[in-house]
Structure 1
């Protein structure tokens, strides 16, 4: 167990690759390597730190976007590359609502009144995407996880003329499909399956209990519940969707979680929470452990197995005279799709862990405080972290016979906990961040996270594959190499092919990998034959 020292800085954000840490300090953007936070070049910014509402890093760490109500600033970690600023002007479109990176080098910006644009960070040109929905309960757009090798796909929900439509946009081609009319009353969210083979659109629960599943080219495949099931009462319907590689979990307002098969979308199981856990019908060796947290007067925390039957404490998110929330508060599926974590709105301090394949309870954890969020580790499937808003990381390995392990991360205020996401490391690291400072927790030690040589080779490979500078950003940050501007891998490869063939026309677009074939024939962005 190792804990970094406290670092001053706001909006601390780890890159999606888990290699970099970015934060704001002294009115500048500071970027450092996860394994060496002392190497930290600063970049000047125009937005006042107090006005920043969000900060995000792109997948390769080469661009970082800062968001405020009136200005969006894209900072490049390559000092030779100019930054990009998007001014809101007279605010005729409303405030800046949301911003997201779209691979490889595009930025989606959305205003509160529904206007959206996709910006090419290389050319600083934008394409308008009108009538984007902004009032749903979930994201109105999502990038396809495993796209066509040459063309990325962005799915968006729009509402022109009081009708919901689906639009598929392809940033590299600057093209989109014709709007696809949806059977929804008021679509709330959109989500891709992990393999990118299915697209789910959730309707408003007050008018329709349905979720609709589409193919990647926008064809309606199936709706749940089906017309044959419409006679059965489904109450307020579906609250949220959570995908795994083989199944999709639908959390409902009636307190149930329905598991559907990922191919036929038929029901395979229904999970229901009970206010009393007895398991009296099971043999003793098959009963799931129930861990209850206890806090001593000395503030020491420990877990003991509760005696059955046990009734988890009833609780609410906050005391008020408003009606209590209904249904399932949270559904999270582990990285390998083997385990499912659920919480009920009536018992917010209790989390159930289920074995999806055996359709049985694995264990139950009852916390002293309400759980703020459940975080599965992105690669270590049985490892989960519970965040109760106390600045304590509760680490629980479902494949061990031990209870959760509380690890205190001392910071002023209520620290928000999150895993540092990386799909290449097998050792966990936790980011604890408040509004003014942050720390990094290494449960198995900092040296075990990844050594410098491995990190730099990974960074070089990632940046090389993405077509960015050949110089490793790790070398640049540590000062071993100067910042230089070179041709990307695809640009150099295109140049070599052109020289060999005597090509003297316009250079081929470096956003496409297969240069010769794609220069001769038009790409079909909806050609997904390789995934079936």
Structure 2
């Protein structure tokens, strides 16, 4: 089944896969994936919609980012929208609640990035040029400033369950790792790092370790710190007389506590979870693939532009980054994408030296399971949240196609989804559903989004009756339900210059709150300033 959603921007699924948020014309529309939820809408200023650059969901509590205070409300229930200066936050469980942060970057240029913090009551705003990071509380209306964050992404991480913030900063020529207390964001410790140019910080899944990745110019260098900020181990690569270490490009923690290190030599090294010593190296050759024990699949396109897979004759020679005229002088290389499945048994990876090729590995044996070669570069590898052996491969093509691989299938599949207006960049996501017989895929472009069902065998389901049961009949699109004659305004009027928590924060910026689920924000009467 499929259902079209007209949108002004890409539809964004919640992290738990239960809702889809879309900015349509002058409204934010949130739809449940299943039929037992309510469709929510909020009116937005037209000029804000035109400038809106961020749509982000809060994260649900789980083993990776559990609640500090045991708040049972914490879930993928809040969503933020932001332009260069203003952040607006909405709650799907309380449509009358809204938070607005004006001047969110605190007079330090535009917003470079904005995300929810450890829970849905915190918002992190990174300003332009690395000037500062401001942590806004949606309970107290106050903001805590942290100067000189290294980047607007990859430079921070929250400790699972407790919410301690690890943040990379660099005020002068020295990298500093700051550890901050949850809630108050008091600095617990500042660690001067022995790094050339730290690129990334990540907490382990159990919250016991912090990994800091140095720049490739420092060689192979990943530092492992304890949760209280003491250096435990420095990984400097695997000694290989036949290979010159070109540095680390990415890293990823496994559920087991092991650390994956992807490098510019097109290798992934697995470090054990106790002493962080190398146990296995997964090598990704780009020039020629010859592994007789596995199947290597090549994507085929026939005269009707139908895509399929065919088993390749080995040795197979995938396209490389150096084959394009643009990259001929400086071909790319290194592991750029690492995706592990939910139970930590399988791993998918992309090597930039052969960007059209997906490698699938068994983490139990350390051996390749299969290799899939495509016509276009891979931009996303995504394992299904409930079916640990099912991988979606999304390539950078202008067609609404997703590639699926499953361990139990005889061969991979390329499925054309009925996205009619597939203009510009296309995004693909798994959704969570209650149908054991089918899999839900969200595919969106700047003009339209669809939710399609794929059977467990990999067949596209096109049952119009099922479509109606999930979303209801809407020939003209969901926006027709909210035309000028029947519009629903679910947001209360925001009064200018109100007192209380809608007044001024520490920096004198207006932080407007209308009404909230917390008692802190219950105002029976709004009083204008000076009245």
> TM-score by structure 2 length?
0.75
What's the offset of the Cα at 1:133? 1.0
What's the offset of the Cα at 1:400? 3.0
**C-alpha distance in structure 2 between counterparts of 1:27 and 1:5, whole Å:** 19
What's the offset of the Cα at 1:140? 0.6
Residue 87 to residue 143, structure 1, CA distance change in 2 (3 Å): same
**C-alpha distance in structure 1 between counterparts of 2:126 and 2:102, whole Å:** 12
- Once the two structures are superposed, residues 278-336 of structure 1 have per-residue CA deviations (whole angstroms, 9 ceiling, x without a partner) of 335xxxxxx10111111110122222211222222334596426511122232222222
- Report matched runs for 1:62-461 at 5 Å: 62-77=77-92, 78-87=94-103, 92-104=107-119, 105-114=121-130, 115-134=132-151, 139-144=154-159, 146-148=160-162, 152-225=163-236, 234-246=244-256, 247-274=258-285, 275-279=287-291, 287-315=293-321, 319-320=325-326, 322-390=329-397, 391-410=400-419, 411-420=421-430, 428-444=439-455
Bigger relative contact order, structure 1 or 2, given CA contacts below 8 A and separation 6+?
A: 2
**C-alpha distance in structure 2 between counterparts of 1:367 and 1:232, whole Å:** 30
Are the aligned partners of 2:43 and 2:491 in contact in 1 as well (CA < 8 Å)? no
Are the aligned partners of 1:73 and 1:83 in contact in 2 as well (CA < 8 Å)? yes
Are the aligned partners of 1:339 and 1:356 in contact in 2 as well (CA < 8 Å)? yes
Are the aligned partners of 1:16 and 1:421 in contact in 2 as well (CA < 8 Å)? no
Residue 224 to residue 256, structure 1, CA distance change in 2 (3 Å): same
Residue 36 to residue 424, structure 1, CA distance change in 2 (3 Å): closer
Residue 356 to residue 174, structure 1, CA distance change in 2 (3 Å): closer
| Runs of 5+ consecutive residues of structure 2 not aligned to the other structure | 60-74, 456-460, 471-489, 493-517, 521-531
What's the offset of the Cα at 1:48? 2.3
What's the offset of the Cα at 1:366? 1.2
Residue 414 to residue 338, structure 1, CA distance change in 2 (3 Å): farther
**C-alpha distance in structure 2 between counterparts of 1:290 and 1:23, whole Å:** 38
Residue 337 to residue 82, structure 1, CA distance change in 2 (3 Å): closer
- Once the two structures are superposed, residues 413-432 of structure 1 have per-residue CA deviations (whole angstroms, 9 ceiling, x without a partner) of 14533334659997642221
What's the offset of the Cα at 1:81? 2.5
**C-alpha distance in structure 2 between counterparts of 1:308 and 1:231, whole Å:** 28
| SS of residue paired to 2:288 | coil
Residue 191 to residue 232, structure 1, CA distance change in 2 (3 Å): farther
Are the aligned partners of 2:7 and 2:446 in contact in 1 as well (CA < 8 Å)? no
CA RMSD of aligned residues (A): 3.2
**C-alpha distance in structure 2 between counterparts of 1:378 and 1:325, whole Å:** 31
What's the offset of the Cα at 1:102? 1.5
**C-alpha distance in structure 1 between counterparts of 2:450 and 2:324, whole Å:** 28
**6-15 or 344-353: which moved more?**
6-15
Residue 424 to residue 35, structure 1, CA distance change in 2 (3 Å): closer
- Once the two structures are superposed, residues 5-56 of structure 1 have per-residue CA deviations (whole angstroms, 9 ceiling, x without a partner) of 3433424211122222111112121122122499533212245222111111
- Once the two structures are superposed, residues 204-230 of structure 1 have per-residue CA deviations (whole angstroms, 9 ceiling, x without a partner) of 11134210111222121111027x969
Are the aligned partners of 2:34 and 2:433 in contact in 1 as well (CA < 8 Å)? no
- Report matched runs for 1:462-477 at 5 Å: none
| SS of residue paired to 2:318 | coil
**C-alpha distance in structure 2 between counterparts of 1:126 and 1:39, whole Å:** 33
Residue 317 to residue 158, structure 1, CA distance change in 2 (3 Å): farther
| Runs of 5+ consecutive residues of structure 1 not aligned to the other structure | 281-286, 453-481, 485-508, 512-532
Higher helix fraction: Structure 1 or Structure 2? 1
